[in-house]
Amino acid sequence: MRFVRIIVIVLVSVAAVLILYSCLRSRVAPPGSTDLPLNLQTIIPSTWAVVPNQYKLCDFDGDSENEYLIIYSYDPASAPSALPVTPVPPAVPVVGRSLIGGVIYDTQVNRVSQSPGAQSPYRPAFLIPYKLLPDMYGGKGQGYLGQNSVTVNLLPGAVNNAPCQAKEITIFGTSYDAPPTNLSIFRWAGDPVGYIAAYFQGDTRLQAYGPNGSTQPTAYVVDVYTYNTLNQRSLLCSVQHYRRGYDPQNPTVMPPGLEFVEVKDDYTIDFCYGPPKDPAYPDGVVMALLRGQNPDAPSPSGASYFMPNTTVPPELQALKNPQRNPVRTLSVSAPGSLGLYPPQGTQSIWTPTNGTPSPTPQVWWTSSNTAPVDTEIVVNGQVRQARWTLVSIANEQATSDTHWRITQVELR
């Protein structure tokens, strides 16, 4: 009987300890941080919401001891405190949207010797937070890691089951169901500085490449292209190229710093998500031509954006080739007003002679209106102005859309 009482007391004691631990854990652990060490859970700011499954344990500063990388969301959007004065309609807040940040906690010991009156002869250890982003020090006040999600790459990371070491931290961030729009690269620069950063953002998207054009997540970044939307009806973006120097003969050797320089001679205009086959607007057709795109085979003009017998300047003859390199474009503009074609304002009819013959040849009506498009392009290393004149064509089939085709090209 005594033995049974002892067993019951032991079981009750164990249950009480487990309940107490569970209560304490639920009180101190921020949302999504249940996999974090207890010493981190107690010091993470209450305004952070730790992102699950993004906790990284690695040696980030080369001291042969692991540090803790934590990804968290902050600054969540909330409802406005007061409605605007009528008749302005109230703004509809997107409640719950937030930004994503990162921090590295480093365990360090007190290097100051203990005072004679100290009760313990051991040096105390403590956690020092080194913010990645957001941060206002060391040239890192640019922004945030992402909005919707982030992907963290540690370079080189854990190789061949060896302890994790990360000379660089590469973080790609997205903005709500979109391609990556943010790229942040961090490297340890010593206790006084912490982590230095290289930061890139494209409001539409960005692309990053490693040595020799590599897209592997284990490759360090040397080329970054940012796409930022222009105020333009064909969804065009300005594209800027940033490059970090490295040794092509030794691509496995990581560059010593994070110095990226803009390659200004690579600036161009392009479609934000790639050229469509047959754009709806005349300026889109010109840009698709300049970016090396061809229309679909059912196109009335075949695999060409040019009308038959269109004269093209000798410097631009290559644009008539189906396989051609993109032309660097610096500007594009299209007036909203339309001209007349031909000058008398009459419509013309033509039947395509190229393409696949059909039992019932399609007859296309050429509009009496034309659309001028002006561009600045780089031809043979020189900036030239080109005026493109386009005409709209359509047939009598209800399922056929209007197409814009180039009927004249002037190079200045």
**Do β-strands 236-244 and 223-229 pair in parallel, antiparallel, or remain unpaired?**
antiparallel
Q: Please, are residues 270 and 291 in contact by the beta-carbon 8 Å criterion?
A: yes
Q: How confident is the model at residue 24 (pLDDT cuts 50, 70, 90)?
A: very low
Is pLDDT above 50 for 357? no
User: For residue 264, what pLDDT band results from cuts at 50, 70 and 90?
Assistant: very high
Q: What integer pLDDT is reported at residue 172 of this predicted model? A: 97
Q: In 3D, which of 173, 101, 155, 98 has the Cα closest to residue 130? A: 101
Q: What span, in angstroms and rounded, lies between the C-alpha atoms of 334 and 283?
A: 6
Output DSSP code: residue 38: H
Residues 62, 159 within the same domain: yes
Same domain, 293 and 174: no
The kind and range of the H/E element at 8 are helix 2-28
Do 192 and 287 lie in one domain? The reply is no
Question: Quick check: is 82 in a domain?
Answer: no
pLDDT confidence bin for 312, thresholds 50/70/90: very high
Do the domain assignments include residue 115?
no
pLDDT category of residue 39 using cuts at 50, 70 and 90: confident
Phi-psi map region of 15: left, alpha, beta (phi>0 left; psi -120 to 50 alpha): alpha
pLDDT at site 13: 52
Domain assignment present for residue 234? The answer is no
Q: Is residue 196 part of a domain?
A: yes
**What's the pTM value of the predicted model, to 2 decimals?**
0.82
Q: Where are the alpha helices (DSSP H) in 127-214?
A: none
What single-letter DSSP state applies at residue 184?
Answer: E
Domain co-membership, 68 together with 194: yes
pLDDT for 26 equals 37
Would you place residue 288 in the very low, low, confident or very high pLDDT band (cuts 50, 70, 90)? very high
- Confidence band of 56 (pLDDT split at 50, 70, 90): very high
Q: How many CA atoms lie less than 13 Å away from 127 in the CB half-sphere?
A: 17
Q: For residue 337, give its domain range.
A: 282-354+361-411
Binning the chain into helix, strand and coil, the percentages to the nearest 5 are: 15, 35, 50
Q: Is position 90 within any domain? A: no
- Last residue in a domain, options 166, 201, 236: 201
Pick from 255, 58, 71: which is nearest to 157 by CA? 58
- Mean pLDDT of the 384-408 span: 86
Length of the chain: 412
The answer to whether residue 306 is domain-embedded is: yes
| pLDDT of res. 16 | 47
Q: Is residue 291 part of a domain?
A: yes
- What is the spatial distance between Cα 179 and Cα 196, in angstroms, rounded to a whole number? 25
Q: What is the distance between the alpha carbons of residues 215 and 309, in angstroms, rounded to a whole number?
A: 43
Query: For residues 109 and 124, is the Cβ–Cβ distance under 8 A?
Result: yes
Query: Mean pLDDT over residues 235-262, rounded?
Result: 94
In this prediction, residues 193-213 reach a mean pLDDT of 94
Do the domain assignments include residue 128? Answer: yes
Q: Which of 147, 168, 201 is the last residue of a domain?
A: 201
Residue 266 or residue 369, greater confidence: 266
Provide the mean pLDDT of the chain: 82
Same domain, 165 and 305: no
Residue 228: both structure tokens together: 């930022």
CA distance 279 to 401: 11
Q: Sign of the CA dihedral 264, 266, 267, 272?
A: negative
Task: Please tell me whether residues 194 and 297 are part of one structural domain.
Answer: no
Residue 335's pLDDT band (boundaries 50, 70, 90)?
A: confident
Last residue of a domain, one of 177, 201, 225: 201
**Residue 373 predicted with pLDDT over 70:** yes
Query: Could you give the CA distance from residue 249 to residue 247 in angstroms, rounded to a whole number?
Result: 5
Number of domains in the chain: 2
Burial class (CB in 10 A: 0-12, 13-18, 19+), 255: middle
- For residue 116, pLDDT over 60 is answered with no
**Does the pLDDT at position 29 exceed 90?**
no
Q: Mean pLDDT, to the nearest integer, of 59-68?
A: 93
CA angle 295, 300, 301 (to 5 degrees): 65
- Predicted confidence at residue 162, as pLDDT, reads 87
Query: Closest Cα partner for 387 from 295, 324, 311?
Result: 311
Which of 161-170, 190-199, 399-408 comes out lowest in average pLDDT? 399-408
* Mean pLDDT in residue range 106-111: 73
* C-alpha neighbours within 13 Å on the C-beta side of residue 351: 8
The beta strand positions in 245-347, using DSSP E, are 260-262, 268-271, 329-333, 339-340
User: Tokens at residue 303, please?
Assistant: 């695999």
**Who contacts 22 (Cβ-Cβ below 8 Å, separation ≥6)?**
none
pLDDT score recorded for residue 25 = 40
State the Cα–Cα distance between residues 355 and 363, nearest whole angstrom.
13
In Å, what is the CA distance from 331 to each residue of 121, 230, 267? Answer: 71, 11, 11
